[in-house]
Structure 1
Amino acid sequence: MAQSEMIRQETTEFAWDRSFFRMREMQFIKEENGWQIEPQLTTSHVLMIVKDGQGHFMLNSHRYRLRPNTAYICSPDDTYGIEIEARSKMFLFKFDVFQRKGSRYECLSHHGECLFPLQGEIPVFPADRLILLCDEIYDHWRSEDELERFRCQLAFQQLLYYIMKHRSPLPKESRTSLEAAKNYMERYFYENLTIEQLARISNVSPKYFVDLFKKTYGMSAMDYLTELRLNKAKRLMAQSDAKLRDIAHQVGYHDEFYFSRKFKKKVGVTPTAYMKSRRRKIAAYTSPITGQLLALKIIPYAAPLHPKWTAYYYKMYRDDISVPLSAYRKNQHWESKIETLSHEQLDVIISTDDLKTMEKERLEQIAPMFYVPWIEKNWREQLMLTAEFLGEEKEAESWLQMYERKVKFARQQLKQEVGEDTFLVVRISNQHLYAHCNRSISEVFYQDLQMNAAYPKRGTYNEPITLDQLAQIDMDRLLLLIRQEEETLAFWNQLQYSLPWQELKAVRHQQVYVLSSDPWMEYSAYAHDRMIDESLKLFSGICPK
Structure 2
Amino acid sequence: MHTTPSDTELQTPGCLDHLWFKLRSVEWLYNSNMEQQMTNSHVLFLVKQGTGCLTIDLQEYRLRKEAVHIALPGQTMGVLTESGAELELYVVSFDLFRDGAGEIKPPHQGEIPVYPESQMVFLCDLMYGCWRHESGLERFRGQSAFHELMYELIKNIRLEPEMNSRSGLETSRTFIENYYYDNLTIEQLARIAQISPKYYVDLFKKTYGKSAIDYLTEVRVNRAKQLMVHSGARLRDIAHQVGYNDEFYFSRKFKKEVGMSPTAYMKNRKRRIAAYSPHVLGQLLALKMIPYAAPLHPKWTAYYYKLYKADIILHLSAYRANQDWEANIHALAQASPDIVISRDDSLHPLERERLEQIAPVIVLPWNDQTWRDHLLLMAQQLDAVQEAHDWLAGYDRKVSQAKEQLHRLLGGETVLAVSIHKQQCRISPVRGMRDVLYADLELPPPQGLNPDQYNMAVPVERLAELDADRILLNVCQEEETLRYWQSLETSPQWLDLRAVRSNRVYPITSDPWREYSAHASGRMIDDLLRLLCGADAAASSSESLPLL
C-alpha deviation, 1:420, in angstroms: 1.6
C-alpha deviation, 1:163, in angstroms: 4.9
C-alpha deviation, 1:270, in angstroms: 5.3
Separation of aligned partners in 1, 2:141 and 2:452: 54
Separation of aligned partners in 1, 2:525 and 2:481: 27
C-alpha deviation, 1:209, in angstroms: 6.0
Aligned with residue 486 of structure 1, among 451, 466, 479: 479
Indicate how the Cα distance of structure 1 residues 181 and 458 shifts in structure 2: closer, same or farther if over 3 A, else same: closer
Show the 5 A alignment for 1:292-331. 292-329=283-320
Separation of aligned partners in 1, 2:484 and 2:412: 32
Indicate how the Cα distance of structure 1 residues 151 and 528 shifts in structure 2: closer, same or farther if over 3 A, else same: closer
Indicate how the Cα distance of structure 1 residues 181 and 291 shifts in structure 2: closer, same or farther if over 3 A, else same: closer
Aligned with residue 278 of structure 1, among 242, 245, 269: 269
Q: Which moved more, 1:372-381 or 1:458-467?
A: 458-467
Separation of aligned partners in 2, 1:187 and 1:444: 47
Paired position in structure 2 for 1:25:
25
Paired position in structure 2 for 1:38:
35
C-alpha deviation, 1:429, in angstroms: 1.6
Aligned with residue 384 of structure 1, among 370, 376, 382: 376
Helix, strand or coil: the match of 2:358? coil
**1:475 maps onto 2:452 in alignment:** no
Separation of aligned partners in 1, 2:128 and 2:431: 45
Separation of aligned partners in 1, 2:129 and 2:366: 54
Helix, strand or coil: the match of 1:68? coil
C-alpha deviation, 1:503, in angstroms: 2.7
Paired position in structure 1 for 2:6:
none
Separation of aligned partners in 2, 1:28 and 1:222: 35
Query: Does the Cα contact within 8 Å between 1:424 and 1:479 map onto a contact in 2?
Result: yes
Separation of aligned partners in 2, 1:451 and 1:211: 49
Show the 5 A alignment for 1:9-408. 18-29=18-29, 31=30, 34-84=31-81, 87-100=86-99, 115-116=105-106, 118-124=108-114, 128=118, 130=120, 134=124, 141=131, 146=136, 149-150=139-140, 152-153=142-143, 156-157=146-147, 159-160=149-150, 163=153, 170-174=162-166, 176=168, 211-221=202-212, 223-241=214-232, 251=244, 254=248, 258-259=252-253, 261-265=255-259, 271-329=262-320, 332-354=323-345, 355-408=347-400
Helix, strand or coil: the match of 1:171? helix
Matched positions, count: 518
Separation of aligned partners in 1, 2:15 and 2:195: 45
Separation of aligned partners in 2, 1:406 and 1:88: 31
- Mark the runs of 5 or more structure 1 residues left unpaired by the alignment: 1-9, 103-107
Separation of aligned partners in 1, 2:60 and 2:180: 25
Separation of aligned partners in 1, 2:144 and 2:530: 46
Separation of aligned partners in 2, 1:190 and 1:460: 62
Indicate how the Cα distance of structure 1 residues 491 and 343 shifts in structure 2: closer, same or farther if over 3 A, else same: same
C-alpha deviation, 1:398, in angstroms: 2.0
Deviations 1:415-457 (A, max 9, x none): 2222222111111122322222421122222111111111521
Separation of aligned partners in 1, 2:481 and 2:153: 30
Indicate how the Cα distance of structure 1 residues 477 and 370 shifts in structure 2: closer, same or farther if over 3 A, else same: same
Helix, strand or coil: the match of 1:309? coil
Helix, strand or coil: the match of 2:451? coil
Deviations 1:487-542 (A, max 9, x none): 32233233333333233222222221111111111111111121222222222221
Helix, strand or coil: the match of 2:226? helix
Report the residue type matching 2:472 in the other structure. Answer: L
Query: Does the Cα contact within 8 Å between 1:274 and 1:298 map onto a contact in 2?
Result: no
Deviations 1:162-196 (A, max 9, x none): 65677566533446589769957985779798x99
C-alpha deviation, 1:229, in angstroms: 4.0
Deviations 1:13-32 (A, max 9, x none): x9765543322122455x3x
C-alpha deviation, 1:213, in angstroms: 2.8
Question: What is the TM-score when the length of structure 2 is the normalising length?
Answer: 0.81
Report the residue type matching 1:453 in the other structure. Answer: P
Helix, strand or coil: the match of 1:343? helix
**1:528 maps onto 2:525 in alignment:** no
Helix, strand or coil: the match of 1:291? helix
Q: Which moved more, 1:121-130 or 1:223-232?
A: 121-130
Paired position in structure 2 for 1:4:
none
Indicate how the Cα distance of structure 1 residues 87 and 286 shifts in structure 2: closer, same or farther if over 3 A, else same: closer
Separation of aligned partners in 2, 1:154 and 1:412: 54
Separation of aligned partners in 2, 1:473 and 1:534: 24
Deviations 1:447-485 (A, max 9, x none): 111111115212782112233322221212111111112
Paired position in structure 1 for 2:417:
425
Separation of aligned partners in 2, 1:473 and 1:134: 39
Query: Does the Cα contact within 8 Å between 1:69 and 1:130 map onto a contact in 2?
Result: no
Separation of aligned partners in 1, 2:11 and 2:354: 39
Paired position in structure 2 for 1:449:
441
Helix, strand or coil: the match of 2:300? coil
Separation of aligned partners in 2, 1:240 and 1:334: 29
Q: Which moved more, 1:519-528 or 1:160-169?
A: 160-169
Query: Does the Cα contact within 8 Å between 2:180 and 2:216 map onto a contact in 1?
Result: no
Helix, strand or coil: the match of 2:468? coil
Question: What is the TM-score when the length of structure 1 is the normalising length?
Answer: 0.82
Helix, strand or coil: the match of 2:354? helix
Separation of aligned partners in 2, 1:381 and 1:129: 59
Aligned with residue 503 of structure 2, among 510, 530, 534: 510
Query: Does the Cα contact within 8 Å between 2:26 and 2:93 map onto a contact in 1?
Result: yes
Report the residue type matching 2:22 in the other structure. Answer: R
Separation of aligned partners in 2, 1:403 and 1:469: 34
Indicate how the Cα distance of structure 1 residues 524 and 84 shifts in structure 2: closer, same or farther if over 3 A, else same: closer
Q: Which moved more, 1:181-190 or 1:339-348?
A: 181-190
Report the residue type matching 1:70 in the other structure. Answer: A
Helix, strand or coil: the match of 2:229? helix
Separation of aligned partners in 2, 1:501 and 1:143: 19
Separation of aligned partners in 2, 1:445 and 1:477: 12
C-alpha deviation, 1:242, in angstroms: 5.6
- The alignment's C-alpha RMSD in Å is 3.8
Q: Which moved more, 1:428-437 or 1:179-188?
A: 179-188
C-alpha deviation, 1:227, in angstroms: 1.6
Percent identity at matched positions?
Answer: 45
Q: Which moved more, 1:310-319 or 1:230-239?
A: 230-239
Separation of aligned partners in 2, 1:220 and 1:437: 43
Deviations 1:111-138 (A, max 9, x none): xx87556431123479846556656755
Deviations 1:58-77 (A, max 9, x none): 10111100233433111222
- Mark the runs of 5 or more structure 2 residues left unpaired by the alignment: 1-9, 544-548
